[in-house]
Structure 1
Amino acid sequence: MARILQAIIAGALLPWMTYKLGKYLFSEAIGLIAAGISAVYIYFVYYAATLMTESFYILAILASLYMAMLLVETNRSTEKWQKVKYALLLGLIAGIAVLLRQLFMLFVPFLFLWVWWSGRKTGTKSLIPALVLAAVIIVTMILPFTIYNYARFDRFVLLNTNSGYAFFWGNHPIYGTHFEPILPPEMGSYQELIPQEVRSLDEAALEQELLKRGIQFILDDPGRYILLSLSRIPPYFMFWPSPDSGTISNISRVFSFGLLWPFMLYGLIRVPFWKEAKFKFKIVSPYFLVYLFIFIYALIHIMTWTLIRYRLPIDALLVIFSAIPLYEGFHYFSGRKALKA
């Protein structure tokens, strides 16, 4: 029952949010096309039907970006309550995204910096008070978990203890210069990679120790780390079938990102030079915020750990860009038919 309920809610909200963002960035037509693609994008359908928070995390990211854009836009008006409303919503939704995935905290400073700069250049007043309000909301949402963790472990743990483990395993010398998204059996298990002398530590202490050792791996051989990070790019953007993957995984990959990546890439390249674009492409434009998120979010994973599902928030934005060539193609061919008639 829970799985069905999640599939219905996520299956409705994600296309709706895609439509809202697509309409804001481009036009209603592109928003509708993007929403249609999002509704049948196999990866989104699959994760909406699983008892995972992936779909709601993606939804929170899209909504956070949208609220940031609206906050900057309202700064051009004199309606103070509108700024307060969008600052509250930005803080609440970004806070939800952080609670779902602590990783999003790494992007929040870039998000706030864009809002501040864009508001400063295009608006009538500084957006610093609005950003302070949003930040207070995020901190307030995180604080109960931090307090609970301190009471449990007697040390500071912001939200969870995942990052240290992931950073240690993702940059372990066992990979050499070639990253494996899932450690194969012949290389041992992830648990076996943890040194025996630190296994007696509690969860939080072990996480912090592993983070230190992961950083030391990089300092000991930065050249290897650079090559290892570069080797994470192909699996992160993988769109072809693999003999190591199951049938469902291969079908999902090929018939979602595999089919759409040429359209996504075309849209990304097209927008800065597109005469029909709603905004001029510059730092203060909403387009720049989208490109910034795609770059930063991909870079974080390329530098740490890559799995295909870690790319899905980027896919959700790229789906909007994939609608551009479809929109142009429809108008081109409908125009030719009209000329022939």
Structure 2
Amino acid sequence: MLWHAIAPVRRYTKASHDVVRHPRLCSDAKILLLYVQGLPDGQTRVALSEHGRKLGIKGRAFQRAKEQLVVNGFVHERRVSGERGLWVTHQLFSNVPLSDADALVVWREAGVGAEASPSVQFPTVGEPGPRTVGHQLPADEELGENSSRPPTEAPSEVEGEGEDGVPAVEPSPQEVEAERVLLSLRNSDRQLRLGVREARELVGLAVEWLRRGVSAGELRRVLSSGLPSNGVRSAVGFLRHRLEMKMPEAPVSEQRAPGRETVEEVQEAVEEAALPAAPPPPPYVPPLVTCQGPGNEHVFRAYSEETECPDCQQAAAYARWAERRAADLGIDLAEDAAKAVEAGRDPDGWRSRLAAAAAAAGGGSRQ
């Protein structure tokens, strides 16, 4: 293969070999990654699907490329509540893989998803409008529940106190990540829509999955795939059952709590580590046995209680067959072999061998 390349001096994008030679990214995903990396700042606010449409990557091809970028940590998505209660999806695109915790730090530093205070918005309070006639509900009729946005947190929890007046504990990064995965399941299927309180009931089980080495993307896939054909009646009950029944096995190093080992167990572990590994046992070799068959004395390896080697057993069986065959046809094997020798034919042919075997079998039976 001939290779010819001229390094560009302008209008080029630096690409890492880890991206170009990534084994789990298809060509569409790599092209999309390099294309977005080289965009000017004014075009970075466009959705990723728009860039894919410009490159001719549409439909299933775009979904496959985007899924590979999300799974491998190049693309992160986050749904937040924007102005007037509308949901907005923010996308984070990186030329290096980022974990969910790293992406959360980037979003916090950029101030993405932070709601503006009421005094910043204009106007702060809307002007009074005219009264609508004929649209007032009766006194005994209640308004329906508005499920367009998730329930907000209680004021006491926002201010740093729990429901019982106890100061709230700051959640760990794993708890934040687990809650985000549980709340994002509504994007995969509407049947898995959870409220904030429902998600926090399942955070403990989800954190245990993350502690046992399961990534956030894999946890989301396990919880949202293979839903029942007759639908999900209760999202929180279904997810609790799946989290408990499909819990992966804990690593060997974590199956026992640290600090519970006794002094004898520690010393025994140190001694076992210092000793060389025992060699594997040698393979079984059957003993040599002297063959009881005719001919010169020879030995063979007997795997059970055989007294003759396989060659002698085969020769004896062939001789018995030849004797029965000759008796059925009325042929004298010894006379046929003598005629063959007188006629000058090969005495070692199949006829002579058959006659010799028949003679040997006859002599053995007479003895």
What TM-score, normalized to structure 2? 0.20
Greater relative contact order structure (CA < 8 Å, 6+ sep): 1
Highest CA radius of gyration, 1 or 2? 2
| Greater strand proportion | 2
